[in-house]
Amino acid sequence: MKFLFVHQNMPGQYVHIARHLAQSGHEVSFITQPRAAQIADVRKLEYEPAAPSGGGHAYTREFESGVANGLAVARVCEWLARDGFVPDIVIGHNGWGEILYVKDLWPQTPLLGYFEFFYRANGSDVDFDREFPPEPDAPMRLRTRNALNLLASTRSIGARAQPNGSARSIRNATGTASRSCMKESTRAW
């Protein structure tokens, strides 16, 4: 099989699975920002996103950076497609917007997204310490910050998430109750 991993900081969470797949004889490629990291028998492809414009509202700066990352990854995917490469599955971290446009290049290829964080103003890492309460506009800022995950989740076949409930939050927020969500733990929701 042909596996394509996407993470701005290779190898990220994928070091063991990418190494295992490559050692098992699968074709493994990895799209990342320039890094010194290497994994034996894994083809590394680097991208560099366009610099942010610096304008716009503070809430949208992370979104703008995510779009730039997604577009830069899409350019690498275009190059791979022109070279005849079609992955059997794409597995990627969406925290920085990198998998936003992968399905535009390979609409029939399954995309498994890793949604490490889905931000909430209550009952999360934002409001756990009473000594440092969230700022008054936290709900609005965090809702905007979730835009990257919400966009990418509409094209992903599943959401691999930390046991903190991120996948459940995405599923509930998008209304896609049928979306397959895998958790790190084995407990059912």
* Separation CA 107–CA 128 (nearest Å): 40
Q: Using CB atoms within 10 A of its CB, is residue 165 exposed (0-12), middle (13-18) or buried (19+)?
A: middle
Q: What domains can be seen in the chain, in order of their start residue?
A: 2-183 (3.40.50.2000)
Q: Report the pLDDT value the prediction gives residue 161, as an integer from 0 to 100.
A: 53
Q: Report the pLDDT value the prediction gives residue 162, as an integer from 0 to 100.
A: 53
Lowest mean pLDDT, pick from 23-37, 63-77, 119-133, 171-185: 171-185
* Separation CA 79–CA 69 (nearest Å): 16
pLDDT in tens, 7-57: 999 999 999 999 999 999 999 999 999 989 999 999 999 999 998 887 889
The count of C-alpha atoms lying within 13 angstroms of the C-alpha of 37, restricted to the half-sphere facing its C-beta, is 20
